[in-house]
Amino acid sequence: MSVAKSVAAHGKTLLMEAALALVVRTRSLQALGIREIGREAGLNPNTFYRHFKNMDELGLAIIENVVNELREPLRKLRLEALDTLLEKGQIESGPSIAGFDLQQIHQVVRVTVRLFLEFAAKRPNAFMLGVRELHGASPVLRKALREAMANFVDDMAEDLKTRNVLPTLDDARLHQLCKVTIREMFILSMDYIEHKDQREQIALEAESMIVTLVTGAATLSSLQHNEAGKVLRAGEI
Amino acid sequence: MSVAKSVAAHGKTLLMEAALALVVRTRSLQALGIREIGREAGLNPNTFYRHFKNMDELGLAIIENVVNELREPLRKLRLEALDTLLEKGQIESGPSIAGFDLQQIHQVVRVTVRLFLEFAAKRPNAFMLGVRELHGASPVLRKALREAMANFVDDMAEDLKTRNVLPTLDDARLHQLCKVTIREMFILSMDYIEHKDQREQIALEAESMIVTLVTGAATLSSLQHNEAGKVLRAGEI
DNA sequence: ACCCGTAGTATACACATGTCTACTCTAGTA
DNA sequence: TACTAGAGTAGACATGTGTATACTACGGGT
C-alpha cells in the first residue's frame, strides 16, 4: 500500500459513485438504503461498513469529492476568462457607472456565466447532489455544503479583487455580491441542467441578474462615498 | 356530509400534518414510509390508501395546503405594508436614482423584508417543506412548487405595479427583479428559521441584496431609456 | 327503516432492510 | 516464507415495509 492510502480503495469509490448516481436519479441521500447502494455498486451489502459508519459519513465523503472536483477547476475557469477578457478589453469603453465600464462588465459577466453553466452541465451529478443536499434534511450535510459554498464565495471575491474587476467596491459589498451570485448560479444551474431547451434563456437571466447586482452595488457604493450634497445635486442620472 | 366534502376528512388532515412534521424533523418526503406516517398520525397504516394513491399524491396535497396557507396572507401582508408606508411616505425624499426615491425604497424594503421573515418564522414547517422539496428529488413535487413560486412572483410584480412602487421599470425588469427576490427570500428564510441568533444579520443581508437589485434595475433602466449621448455626457454619477 | 358509500381497522404475507458474526482472499511487511 | 491487516463475501436473524383482502362503524339520503 505504497501508492494507495492516498487513492481511495476500489470499493469505496464504487460505493460513492453508486450513491451519487442513485441520488441524482431517484432520492435524497438519507433515503437510500445501504443494501441498495451496495447493489448498485455491484458489491456485497456489508462492504459499506468497511468504509463508512453510516449514511452521513458516506455523504460527507461524497461532498468532499464533489467539492474537490469543482473548486479548483471553477476558479481556474474564472481566472483564465478574466485574464483574457481584461487584457484585450482595456481598449473600449461604454457608459460608466461609478467608475466601472458597464460594457466591459457585461461582457465579463456574459462569458463567465456561460462558462459556469456549461461547466455545471458537464458535471450534472456533482451539482445536483450539492444543491439538493444543501437544502436537504441532514444538518451535517447542509453544514458541510454551506461551508463549501462559503469557500466558493471567498474564491470569487478574491479573484475579482486581485484582477481588479470592480475596484471601487468595498470588501463587504463585494463579498455580499459574490455570495448572492454564487447562490443564484448554483440554483440556476439546476434549471440549466434539467431544461436543455431553455438554456439560452436561463443564461440570459443569470447574466441580467448579475449585471443588475453589480450595477446596483456600484451605484450605491458611489452614492455612499460621495458626500451627500454632491449626490443630491447630481440628481437623477 | 353537507359541511364536509369541502373540509378534508379527519384522517386525511392528520396524515398530512404527520408527514409535514416528519419531513421537517427528519427526512425528505420520498424517504418517509407509509406506515411511518400512519404511526405518527396515530392511524392504521392502511388509512393512507383511503386518501392517497402514493407518496407524490400526498406531497401534492401537502403542497397545495402549504401554498394556500402562504399565498394570500403573504400578499395581504405586502399590500398593507405598502399602503401604510407609501401613504405617510410621500413627504420625505432622499437621493433619487432614475426617478426613485432611494430612502423610501430602502424603508419599504426594510419593512417588508422583516414582515416576510417573521411570517416565515411563524410557519417554519410550510417554508421548510417548500424549499426542501423545491430542490428535492421528486420531479412532480418540484414542478408543483416551481409553479407556486411563479405565482408568488406574479403576485409581487402585480402588487408593486398597482401600488406604483418602481413606476419607471419596464415589466420584464420588474418581473425578473421579483423572481430573484422571491427565490432569495425563500432560501434566506431557511437560515432565518434555523439560526435564531443571526436573524438580524440575515434580515440586513436580505435588505441589502434587494436594495442593490432595485438600484441596479433602476440605474440600468434609466441608462436604457435615455439616449446614449445624454447618458455618456452624464458620465459618472 | 333501510341502504350504501366513506373512513377506518385487523390480519396476513411476501419481501427488503440493517446489521451481527464468521469466513476468505490478497498484497505488503517482517 | 509466513504473518497480518485491510477489503470483500456469505449467511443468518430480527425487524420493518408495502400492500392485498376482508371486516366494522357510522352518518345521510331515500
* Positions of chain B with pLDDT under 50: 1-6, 91-93, 227-237
pLDDT at residue A91 greater than cutoff 60: no
Enumerate domains of chain B plus CATH numbers. Answer: 10-51 (1.10.10), 66-234 (1.10.357.10)
What is the sign, positive or negative, of the torsion defined by CA atoms of B227, B175, B132, A122?
negative
- Between CA B47 and C1' D30 the distance (Å) reads 29
Q: How far is CA B26 from CA A35, A136, B41, B57, B127, in A?
A: 21, 10, 15, 20, 15
Quick one: B115 exposed, middle or buried, by C-beta within 10 A (0-12, 13-18, 19+)? middle
Q: What is the enclosing helix (H) or strand (E) of B102?
A: helix B102-122
Question: Across-strand partners of B97?
Answer: B100
Name residues whose C-beta falls within 8 Å of residue A30's C-beta, 6 or more positions apart in sequence: A55, A136, A137, A138, B27, B28, B31
Q: Do the chains contact at B98 and A236, CB–CB below 8 Å?
A: yes
Strands B96-97, B100-101: parallel, antiparallel or unpaired by DSSP?
Answer: antiparallel
More confident residue, B102 or A173: A173
Residue A96, pLDDT score: 64
More confident residue, B164 or A101: B164
Residue A223, pLDDT score: 86
Share of chain A above pLDDT 70, in %: 86
A-B CB pairs within 8 A amount to: 141
Residue holding cell 413560486? B149
Residue A98, pLDDT score: 63
Mean pLDDT score of chain A: 89
- Between CA A36 and C1' C11 the distance (Å) reads 30
CB A20 within 8 A of CB A123: no
Give CA–CA dist A171/B168, Å, rounded: 31
CB A104 within 8 A of CB A90: no
Residue B98, pLDDT score: 62
Give CA–CA dist A237/A221, Å, rounded: 15
Pick from A18, A21, A13, A20: nearest CA to A35: A18
Pick from A23, A137, A237: CB nearest B132:
A137
Give B103-125 pLDDT, tens digit per residue.
889 999 999 999 999 999 999 99
Name the residue in chain A with its Cα closest to that of B221: A212
Which nucleotide is nearest to B11 if distance is taken from CA to C1'? C7
Residue B224, pLDDT score: 80
Which nucleotide is nearest to A51 if distance is taken from CA to C1'? D7
More confident residue, B229 or A218: A218
Q: Do the chains contact at A234 and B237, CB–CB below 8 Å?
A: yes
Enter the pTM of the model.
Answer: 0.92
Q: Do the chains contact at B219 and A219, CB–CB below 8 Å?
A: yes
Pick from A127, A151, A137, A153: nearest CA to A63: A127
Residue A233, pLDDT score: 36
Residue A87, pLDDT score: 81
Residue holding cell 431557511? B190
- Between CA B2 and C1' C2 the distance (Å) reads 21
Give CA–CA dist A24/A16, Å, rounded: 12
Residue A95, pLDDT score: 61
- pLDDT confidence tier of residue A232, bands split at 50, 70 and 90: very low
Residue B8, pLDDT score: 67
CB B85 within 8 A of CB B111: yes
